Amino acid sequence: MSYLSSLPDDAKLMNVFTLYPETSRPLLDYHEVLMRGPAPFSVAERELIAAYVSGVNSCGYCHGVHTVAAEVCGIERGAIPAALDDLDAAPVEDKLRPVLRYVGKLTRSPSSITRADAEEVLGAGWDERALHYAVMVCALFNFMNRMVEGHGISAGPDYFAESGERLKKVGYAGLNQVLDS
């Protein structure tokens, strides 16, 4: 149930974006650059990171939407919940495990991140640019999780499926186009 009386009780994030386009447009532009632009991680891997961080934060809305987005972009179905349950046993590429471990720790206890944590990511074959992208996706979705929870936004599986498919089809730039209509 939305905490803003100007929004419907069943508000979705697009309702917030529409109500406050001045803060939403630059945010969606940033999503497009980070999540769909050239990067060391594939689109599917970035959506995996977003869904994983959102799961660590128990943000059902973002976790649901980005789990579907990751899966429709190529991440194995069920891999994200499995990674949240037991990262070492989950059907996730070995090279991604240290990245997910890093963003999980950064989400749970940011001040506990150490050089050794970064070295684990780099030792798995990722470069500094990849570590930067992992940090930025993690930071963005920690922000988004708080935005969603702070506004009282929620949804269910049907909406997650619709939204995840929409993200694959139009990306985040397409959401800005929705604001124009």
Q: Are 121 and 103 in contact (CB under 8 A)?
A: no
pTM: 0.96
> Domain 43-180 sits in which CATH superfamily?
AhpD-like (1.20.1290.10)
- What is the per-residue DSSP string for 21-69? HHHHHHHHHHHHHHHHSS-SS-HHHHHHHHHHHHHHTT-HHHHHHHHHH
- Nearest CA among 80, 73, 65 for reference residue 161: 65
Query: What pLDDT is recorded for position 175?
Result: 84
Q: Six-digit token pair at 162?
A: 């619709």
Structural domain spans, the chain? 43-180
pLDDT tens, the chain, 181 aa long: 899 999 999 999 999 999 999 999 999 999 999 999 999 999 999 999 999 999 999 999 999 999 999 999 999 999 999 999 999 999 999 999 999 999 999 999 999 999 999 999 999 999 999 999 999 999 999 999 999 999 999 999 999 999 999 999 998 888 888 777 6
Query: What pLDDT is recorded for position 173?
Result: 87
